[in-house]
Amino acid sequence: MARTQRYKSTVRKQQSTGLRPLIAFCLISILVLTFYLREGDTGIIHSVRSGVTAVTMPLRVVGSAVATPFNALGNIMGNLTASEETLSELKAQNEELTAQVAELSEAQETATRLEDLLGLQSTYNLQSVAARIIGTSGDAWTKTVTIDKGTADGFTVNMPVTNSAGVIGQIIEVSANSSVVRLITDESSGVSAMIQSTRAQGMLQGQPDGSLLLNYVPIDAEVQAGDMVVTSGIGGVYPKGLPLGRVSSVESADNALYYTIVVDAFSSVENQEEVLVITSLTEDQTASADDIASADDNPAGATSDNASQDSNQDASQDGADASGDGTTGGE
């Protein structure tokens, strides 16, 4: 009798298809997903992830070191296959930049002397910490990079990140020794921006295809292809005046209130390894009361501000200042 029972239990065990574990795992997964979506940046799931990221950090560093030569190989291939037109364009740019460098060097010398004489502080002093990009997004749907420094170096969520060309994004997750940076080209990203020459303000948003759109610039503003787009400083996240990109096309539909402005980003993380994380802003680097008032006066400013408040609910809930920069949706 006992043998029969044992036989039956053995047969049942062999026939087990794992349906019970599957149901249990599905329930756990749904619970985790629900917690993740409902909790803030400081919830349990985020804390666990932060810990796991810190533990797995050495592997990522090794992976980055292994992949670096191959990235360089990709760049060489790209350079070898560059067209004649591109090369001539680069030569022209090189000449132009060389002239500019000479001019700027002279200007810098003059500025240094004047600063020494007048005892002025540097007009553009970023308080920042250098970090190194060690990986890109783990999935294909989001545009983020991971950098090799975190809370141990004083980094916190929402800190802006730049490279030599301009703004690349802001920190969205941080662990002890690494941080995840959402790029400005991610479709969840939004940065308060303005046209440098006319000061027309808008919201620079990433698109699914990786391009950038400058939204909410009113149709009566003066914008043309080639204009430089810089951060407006409204929101207090990004310093005022950092380069973002250049307007590549401007379109306006009939009866539309705003332009459709496509922007080519200055910065790219593909060939960049070093970045600067801006840890704090000086008074000069934040938007002035006049800037905020002018943004509020025109419809674009109002819309932009509303959009940003909607998009950055987390920051608002945490007691942060109303911000013009941050996410435009998503998690």
Partner 1 sequence: MEVHDKYSARRTVGILAVVCVVLQMALSTQISIGGGTVNFMLILTGTVALLSGSRAGCVAGFLAGTLYDFTMPVPAGLMMLILSVTGFILGSGERNRLAEQLDVSLKLFAIACCAVNLVYAIALLLIGTQSDILTAIFGHGVASILLDVIFALPFFYVLARADLGQGFARRPNSLRTANAKRGGAKRYRKLH
Which chain residues interact with partner 1 by CB under 8 A?
Answer: 16-19, 21-22, 25-26, 28-37, 45, 48-49, 52-53, 56, 59-60, 62-64, 66-67, 70-71, 134-142, 144, 146, 172-173, 180, 187-188, 208-209, 329-331
Shortest spacing between CB 190 and partner 1, in angstroms: 13
Shortest spacing between CB 290 and partner 1, in angstroms: 35
- Report whether 312 contacts 326 (CB < 8 A): yes
- Report whether 288 contacts 246 (CB < 8 A): no
Alpha-helix runs per DSSP H in the chain: 2-15, 19-38, 44-80, 84-118, 289-297, 299-311, 313-317
Shortest spacing between CB 128 and partner 1, in angstroms: 22
Residues 112, 118, 123, 126: is their CA dihedral positive or negative? positive
Shortest spacing between CB 149 and partner 1, in angstroms: 16
Closest-CA residue to 158 (of 303, 281, 39, 241): 281
The residue type found at 315 is A
Q: Look up residue 31 and give its DSSP letter.
A: H
Shortest spacing between CB 151 and partner 1, in angstroms: 16
Shortest spacing between CB 269 and partner 1, in angstroms: 11
Please name the helix (run of DSSP H) or strand (run of DSSP E) that holds residue 228, with its range, or none: strand 228-231
Residue 58, token pair as written in the block = 């050495």
The residue type found at 49 is R
How far apart are alpha carbons 58 and 148 in whole angstroms? 10
Q: Which is nearer to partner 1, 5 or 17 (CB)?
A: 17
Q: Which is nearer to partner 1, 119 or 138 (CB)?
A: 138
Q: Which is nearer to partner 1, 69 or 119 (CB)?
A: 69
Shortest spacing between CB 157 and partner 1, in angstroms: 12
Shortest spacing between CB 177 and partner 1, in angstroms: 14
Q: Which is nearer to partner 1, 24 or 152 (CB)?
A: 24
Q: Which is nearer to partner 1, 78 or 329 (CB)?
A: 329
Give how far the C-alpha of residue 157 lies from the chain's centroid of Cα atoms, to the nearest Å: 12
Q: Which is nearer to partner 1, 147 or 194 (CB)?
A: 147
Q: Which is nearer to partner 1, 209 or 283 (CB)?
A: 209
Contacts of residue 318, Cβ cutoff 8 Å, sequence gap at least 6 = 40, 41
How far apart are alpha carbons 35 and 203 in whole angstroms? 31
How far apart are alpha carbons 219 and 146 in whole angstroms? 38
Q: Which is nearer to partner 1, 30 or 99 (CB)?
A: 30
Residues in the chain: 331
